[in-house]
Chains A and B, each alone.
Chain A
């Protein structure tokens, strides 16, 4: 199969990190990522299927990995070499189109479910992520055993496969995974404002994840005043289209939240602030700002993947602010008390959100350097989501091989 692969090469990670600091997007050319032919991953066992990606998105976490910015935390939770890519719409040997819920949960790894009907992201013991039969890996796209979406082929477990309606376009479906992440964060925010008559929810960052969180908030907290800090005009437009109440330049978020809430500013901190802040950026500055603008006893939903940060947590301590991580998705408790899998909600919501409008450009796998540069420069270039288009590759895939697999 044709695949983009990341090897454990410390030197290249370091070079990528340095290069990306000088020239955004250059890491793809000189970093740990290589394009080539590779053996397709073997099916790990019963319940596994081959998936042939049609479109696969480029996520911020993928970029962080390619650019060598990812935390060393992941060293024990991934297995090299691996094929990145976890925002996948693909097809099975049967020809059915599916989206992949990439988390390698208990079912995929042959472990007992934490509870009946659990989604891959559920549970409070992550031992299964690092234990056999699969190589370590938090999800497809970071696991040597499964492959990833930046290839013409991968394997996925039945528990990860969601069939999509015939009339749903690939362009819409490829955004389901980030939309599920957005819904998950939104519900974490909504949970903490239950019973609040006029909640104010701030969202920092209006890249794909921030925008998907806004879409989630509009669905599950339609009465909330959603204030968004965005950096680029395309993000501002998209945030407004998705229903944000107020969208301002990121540098004005604190002032705007203050104004909406009607509180004071004391030093760098709002005296009160947003009931919840969704931080879809995840760096030192954004986390600091989140603490500044979230009201005492409020919640910060940390959606953007951070690495090592330098943040003064005195305010967090004094204000008794809750800092809640928001990794992916799982089983959600909705405001009406019902329980649903996030991915199911995302598939249902994708049509209403028209997620395809967030897909700005696609590239063939061969053009990965340009694709990754575009993704790294998405904001300034007026783009939201960049994806690889593997459909031409799929047409070239040996039909007999697929038939054989069938």
Chain B
């Protein structure tokens, strides 16, 4: 029986706590009697017979007829699936998406459906490489569909392949992939890594155009989503659900397939990273010392390759299919079961180690914009109820935060860092002054469509993602960050955690309460 999440009150006997620092980590001693550490629940058991569970779900959907009854010869079937941004790290083969899509294809073949397209729901993310697609879908699907042009990636900038379905009552345009929109049935295959994934966000975001996405990927929405993980308090969720209404009326019939995974994040020999430090045995300590010593001597590029080569042992804990909203309600419950940790009250200082990966740098570089987004966008928002840190409190991250970008994946990020953040770091202001130009830049558009680049507007979205955190916190400190780069982000660099706590005392006084979010593995703090 996996143990639930746990909040450790730090005392003098508490060992140093693990902090991620990009492609490295450190052990940090937290002040006794006023610090606490939040640990994720232990990984839930995965389904024993995954293929059996998939078949069962497809045949027993929620509020919809079984999939085989929806499949008829001559129909236009489109299968869309979540892209490389999740799960994190990538899972060992076979990926859940491969298993599900193979099952759907088997049923389609049995029903005599031969007009089938498979579309990666990229939204404005970068296109995936052949290797990445093969990893997700398996060689059988790739070889059968890709050469015939029936497996491809959504292009949010292809005007000929987008369809405007209508507008919400709030004037939000709903424009999605034309093939998906004109299909007799759209099967969406999701992996719900966190609570904000899935539901109408799968289609209304994953298959949408910039014209549509801009209605909810903006500062106003993000600052009024408290948090993204809590559907009831998320403007992002509400906007996607409004768009869902339009899709329900004017879009294709959707058969939503949602899955959850457990948080078994690290394979051996990295499994100690998910353990509670006081439970480390001699072997764990030896592995830490060896890994740390090795990483200290490893060039950053090689260290990056090592970490991005990790294939996580996490796997499917639930699958539910059918009507979008009914399915998503079940999915969210299953996500909460794995991730929720009850926490009493807020803290003055929230510390977080920023790891090597976030949804937008798989097989890539965690650039400074993504550090901000991971810290203030994702980790800060891993709460339900109230933010873990009190308003005006301090967030301390640990990460090298070098001025380094992947030139192929993140070209507009480089310009955002050099040309936008040098002018302003205020989300509303940079949105008003610069977003349109980046979004409409022809070169970025070209690279997004033909190369492996995130859309020109994507760094703005990353900044908006962190805008609630920015607005909420009195100060943000990055320990171990390259000073000029950290300054450019508008944050304060510190050499050590102790220095950071000293700096933070200007804002929160001499004896602040401290909470360390021991993630990954992923969790959500249910703050009472």
Q: Which one of B422, B440, B443 contacts A258 once the chains associate, using CB atoms below 8 Å?
A: B443
Interface 9-residue window, one of B105-113, B306-314, B413-421:
B413-421
Contacts of B415 in A (CB 8 A): 252, 255-256, 259
Contact assessment for A263 and B419 in the assembled complex, using a CB-CB cutoff below 8 Å: no
Q: Mark B430-445, 1 if CB is under 8 A from A, else 0.
A: 0000000100111100
CB of B455 to closest CB in A, whole Å:
15
Q: Any chain B CB within 8 A of the CB of A349?
A: no
By size class, the interface of chain B is: 10 to 19
Contact assessment for A249 and B418 in the assembled complex, using a CB-CB cutoff below 8 Å: yes
Contacts of A262 in B (CB 8 A): 437, 440-443
Contact assessment for A259 and B446 in the assembled complex, using a CB-CB cutoff below 8 Å: no
Contact assessment for B443 and A256 in the assembled complex, using a CB-CB cutoff below 8 Å: no
Contacts of A248 in B (CB 8 A): 418-419, 422
Q: Which positions 443-477 of chain B face chain A at CB distance < 8 Å?
A: 443, 446
Contacts of B419 in A (CB 8 A): 246, 248, 252, 256, 259
* Total of A-B residue pairs, C-beta within 8 Å: 31
Q: Any chain B CB within 8 A of the CB of A265?
A: yes
CB of B409 to closest CB in A, whole Å:
15
Q: Any chain B CB within 8 A of the CB of A264?
A: yes
Majority SS at the chain B contact face: helix
CB of A206 to closest CB in B, whole Å:
14
Could you say which of B414, B418, B437, B440 has the most chain A C-beta atoms within 10 Å of its C-beta? B418
13 A-B residue contacts at CB 8 Å? A246-B419, A248-B418, A256-B418, A258-B443, A262-B437, A262-B440, A262-B442, A263-B442, A263-B443, A264-B442, A264-B443, A264-B446, A265-B443
Contact assessment for B442 and A255 in the assembled complex, using a CB-CB cutoff below 8 Å: no
Bound-complex Cα distance A40 to B255 (A): 96
CB of B271 to closest CB in A, whole Å:
42
Q: Mark A236-268, 1 if CB is under 8 A from B, else 0.
A: 000000000010110010011011001111000
Majority SS at the chain A contact face: mixed
CB of B87 to closest CB in A, whole Å:
34
Contact assessment for A255 and B446 in the assembled complex, using a CB-CB cutoff below 8 Å: no
CB of A306 to closest CB in B, whole Å:
27
- Besides A252-B415, A255-B414, 6 more A-B contacts (Cβ < 8 Å) are A248-B419, A252-B414, A256-B418, A259-B419, A262-B437, A262-B443
Bound-complex Cα distance A258 to B446 (A): 14
Determine the residue in chain B with the shortest Cβ distance to A236. Answer: B422
Determine the residue in chain B with the shortest Cβ distance to A246. Answer: B419
- Residues of B whose CB lies within 8 Å of any CB of A are 414-415, 418-419, 422, 437, 440-443, 446
Determine the residue in chain B with the shortest Cβ distance to A266. Answer: B443
CB of A137 to closest CB in B, whole Å:
44
Q: Which 5 residue pairs spanning A and B have beta carbons closest together?
A: A264-B443, A252-B418, A259-B415, A248-B418, A255-B415
Bound-complex Cα distance A249 to B417 (A): 11
Bound-complex Cα distance A252 to B405 (A): 13
CB of B418 to closest CB in A, whole Å:
4
Bound-complex Cα distance A204 to B446 (A): 28
Determine the residue in chain B with the shortest Cβ distance to A259. Answer: B415
Bound-complex Cα distance A256 to B442 (A): 14
Q: Mark A259-303, 1 if CB is under 8 A from B, else 0.
A: 100111100000000000000000000000000000000000000
Could you say which of A256, A258, A264 has the most chain B C-beta atoms within 10 Å of its C-beta? A264
Contact assessment for A259 and B441 in the assembled complex, using a CB-CB cutoff below 8 Å: yes
Determine the residue in chain A with the shortest Cβ distance to B446. Answer: A264
Contacts of B443 in A (CB 8 A): 258, 262-265
Bound-complex Cα distance A255 to B438 (A): 13
CB of A251 to closest CB in B, whole Å:
9
Bound-complex Cα distance A219 to B455 (A): 38
